[in-house]
């Protein structure tokens, strides 16, 4: 069987310590990997480090944006760049090792077995969350339960950013019409994928809280996520068969 060509998109904002370790591990992964770093002019010099790594390896690509424009549009910029290549699989992951590169082969194998979107999931047997504070765990659990009930999402980890999409899945979605930008972009994306009847699967991951750098999730992101779910719920309701 032809090996599927894999591109990994890593959005970064102030991830210099993490990126220096992550990229060599990705390039050494048994799943043949190209990396697209999407950096938003990080004040800590992540973008410059990314350029150095790109100069060193033809498999590292960098997209620079002028300022912090949000996680959702960072993914979109990465998707569009990946779709211009011959990528078969497009993976997204955090730069902070919460999404460990050791799981890449599991994601790829599941996609090869016929899944269109594979989620690296904390909430299936074998998955776990380590070293996160209780409020953070409750927030994630609550957001998931709410999104699943309101939108009829079947996946258990609907807010996970560790995902592997077949290129056909991304090509089928009107990317420019996605409204959510922050973290709730992930919920909207999953909703659009499920609505198109793509096969969504999950593989367990142990999610470890970041060891270096700081989280960029903020209180406004929580309100925006709530807003996103309510907007999609309304859209779903308006379209229900009568
Ligand atoms: N390019 C870009 N990357 C971002 C932005 N916000 C967050 N990130 C990156 O997206 C990933 C997820 O953010 P993170 O702070 O780890 O979120 P958390 O895991 O939910 O705490 C990390 O690699 C961040 O550096 C943004 O506005 N632009
Ligand atoms: Mg993270």
Kindly report, residue by residue over 46-57, the tens digit of the pLDDT. Answer: 999 999 999 999
Find the mean pLDDT for residues 218-226.
87
Which atom of ligand 1 sits closest to the CA of residue 73?
28
Left (φ > 0), alpha (ψ -120 to 50) or beta: where does 179 sit?
alpha
- Give the pLDDT of residue 47: 98
What is the per-residue pLDDT across 122-145, written as a single tens digit (0 to 9) for each? 999 999 999 888 888 898 889 899
Token look-up 């993490």 returns 18
Question: Which atom of ligand 1 is found nearest the CA of 68?
Answer: 27
Cα-to-centroid distance, 230 and ligand 2 (Å): 25
Higher pLDDT, 65 or 136: 65
| Total number of domains in the chain | 1
Q: Are 100 and 210 in contact (CB under 8 A)?
A: no
Length of the chain: 242
Structure tokens at 15: 């991830």
Report residues near ion ligand 2: CB below 5 Å: 94, 96, 98
Do 19 and 44 meet the contact criterion of CB atoms below 8 Å apart? no
Q: Is 40 in the pocket of ligand 1 (CB under 6 A)?
A: yes
Residue 1 lies in a domain: no
Q: Is 178 domain-assigned?
A: yes
Residue nearest to atom 5 of ligand 1 (CA): 71
Strand locations in 98-225 (E) = 117-121, 128-130, 163-166, 200-204, 206-208
Give pLDDT tens digits for 107-120: 999 999 999 999 99
pLDDT band at 79, cuts 50/70/90? Answer: very high
- The verdict on residue 81 lying in a domain is yes
The rounded distance, in Å, linking the Cα atoms of 7 and 87 is: 6
Does ligand 1 lie within 6 Å of residue 162's CB atom?
Answer: no
31 lies in some domain: yes
Residue span of the structural domain in which 11 resides: 6-238
Atom index in ligand 1 nearest the CA of residue 10 equals: 23
Say how far apart CA 54 and CA 62 lie, in whole Å: 7
Q: Over 90: is that where the pLDDT of 69 sits?
A: yes
| Residue 190 pLDDT greater than 80, yes or no | yes
The model's pTM: 0.96
The angle subtended at Cα 58 by Cα 56 and Cα 59, nearest 5°, is 110
242 has pLDDT over 80: no
Identify whether 89 is part of a domain: yes
In a domain, 180, yes or no: yes
Mean pLDDT taken over the chain:
94
Strands 89-92 and 163-166: antiparallel
- Locate 116 and state its tokens: 């269109």
Query: Cβ distance 49 to 19 under 8 Å?
Result: yes
Residue 91 lies in a domain: yes
User: Which range has highest mean pLDDT (77-81, 138-142, 177-181)?
Assistant: 77-81
Ligand 1 centroid to Cα of residue 103, in Å, is 19
Closest CA to 104 of 61, 54, 144, 164: 164
For range 74-97, the mean pLDDT: 97
CATH of the domain at 197: 3.90.550.10
């Amino acid at each position: 069987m032809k090996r599927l060509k894999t591109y990994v998109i890593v959005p970064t904002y102030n991830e210099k310590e993490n990126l220096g370790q992550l990229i060599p591990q990705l390039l050494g992964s048994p799943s043949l990997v190209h990396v697209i770093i999407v950096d938003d002019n990080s004040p800590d010099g992540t973008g410059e480090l990314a350029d150095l790594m790109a100069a060193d390896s033809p498999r590292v690509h960098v997209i620079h944006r002028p300022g912090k424009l949000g996680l959702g549009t960072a993914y979109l910029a990465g998707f569009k760049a990946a779709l211009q290549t011959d990528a078969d699989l497009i993976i997204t992951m955090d730069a902070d090792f919460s999404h460990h590169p050791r799981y890449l082969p599991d994601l790829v194998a599941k996609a090869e077995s016929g899944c269109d979107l594979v989620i690296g999931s904390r909430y299936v047997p074998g998955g776990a969350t380590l070293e996160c504070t209780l409020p953070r765990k409750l927030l994630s659990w609550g957001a998931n339960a709410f999104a699943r009930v309101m939108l009829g999402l079947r996946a258990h980890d609907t807010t996970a950013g560790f995902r592997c999409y077949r290129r056909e899945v991304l090509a089928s979605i009107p990317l420019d019409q996605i409204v959510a930008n922050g973290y709730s972009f992930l919920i909207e994306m999953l909703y659009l994928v499920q609505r198109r009847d793509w096969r969504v699967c999950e593989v367990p991951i142990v999610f470890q809280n970041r060891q270096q750098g700081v989280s960029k999730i903020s209180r406004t992101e929580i309100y925006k996520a709530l807003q996103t779910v309510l907007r999609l719920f309304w859209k779903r309701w308006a379209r229900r068969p009568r």
